[in-house]
């Protein structure tokens, strides 16, 4: 039923990308959208809405962002829809406490950016966002890139640990030490990924 603030913010990002793509000083084929936390969710929605973004960067967007919902630690649908109900459509709150009944999960949102590049950043101490669930979201979204002949995210035979930087596929992922922030280290990883794939 309608949309929430995240959809409105994402639409604004899409309009900005549309304007930027017409400017002579912008490489329209290399526009990126980035966000941290709620704006990481917004970046994923913007990537789903507009093909203008060559790179969709989600930094610690967690619940209702890049983290798979089923089995997730930390923040759940009940928490986020109670505190920030205006971010989402009203019907999303119907899944509070019953996430396993959802006909979708967050990897659907990540997959909507295929075959373009998606980069996900996580932090070890950010259990509320759950860095393992974010990695699992990337893994579950990877088949969308495989449809285009890609691979998605590099697969690990273990849970990710701080220092893991997986930049070989169309979905990049890194896990750093520390808390819920967009840090210089994150920026360095995003720039490195774009230079490698650009």
pLDDT, tens digit, 9 for 90 and up, residues 162-190: 999 999 999 999 999 999 999 999 999 99
DSSP secondary structure string, 37-61?
THHHHHHHHHHHH-TT-SEEEEES-
Question: What pTM, to 2 d.p., does this model score?
Answer: 0.97
Active site residue 37: yes
Active-site choice (21, 151, 180, 197): 180
pLDDT, tens digit, 9 for 90 and up, residues 93-121: 999 999 999 999 999 999 999 999 999 99
pLDDT, tens digit, 9 for 90 and up, residues 66-82: 999 999 999 999 999 99
User: Is the pLDDT score of 131 beyond 90?
Assistant: yes
159 confidence band (pLDDT: 50, 70, 90): very high
Residue 78 neighbours by CB under 8 Å, 6+ apart: 96, 97
Question: Following CA atoms 85, 98, 7, 31 in sequence, which dihedral angle do they give, to the nearest 10 degrees?
Answer: 130
Average pLDDT over residues 119-124: 98
Active site residue 174: no
Please give the pLDDT value at position 37: 98
User: Is the pLDDT score of 1 beyond 80?
Assistant: no
2 confidence band (pLDDT: 50, 70, 90): confident
Active-site choice (36, 37, 58, 64): 37
Q: Are 69 and 77 in contact (CB under 8 A)?
A: yes
Please give the pLDDT value at position 198: 84
pLDDT over 90 for what percent of the chain?
98
Using DSSP, state whether 11 is helix, strand or coil: helix
pLDDT, tens digit, 9 for 90 and up, residues 132-148: 999 999 999 999 999 99
């Amino acid at each position: 039923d309608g949309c929430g603030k995240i959809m409105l913010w994402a639409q604004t990002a899409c309009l900005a990308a549309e304007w930027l793509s017409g400017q002579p000083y912008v490489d329209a084929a290399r526009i990126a959208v980035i966000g941290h936390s709620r704006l990481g969710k917004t970046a994923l929605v913007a990537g789903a809405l507009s093909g203008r973004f060559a790179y969709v960067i989600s930094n610690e967007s967690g619940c209702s962002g890049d983290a798979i919902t089923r089995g997730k630690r930390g923040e759940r649908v009940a928490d986020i829809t109670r505190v920030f109900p205006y971010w989402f459509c009203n019907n999303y709150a119907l899944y509070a406490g019953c996430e396993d009944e959802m006909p979708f999960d967050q990897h659907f949102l990540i997959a909507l950016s295929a075959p373009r590049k998606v980069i996900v950043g996580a932090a070890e101490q950010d259990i509320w966002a759950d860095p393992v669930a974010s990695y699992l979201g990337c893994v579950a979204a990877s088949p969308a890139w495989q449809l285009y002949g890609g691979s998605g995210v590099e697969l690990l035979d273990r849970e990710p640990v701080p220092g893991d930087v997986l930049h070989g596929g169309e979905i990049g992922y890194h896990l750093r030490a520390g808390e819920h922030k967009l840090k210089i280290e994150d920026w360095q990883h995003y720039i490195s990924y774009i230079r490698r794939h650009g």
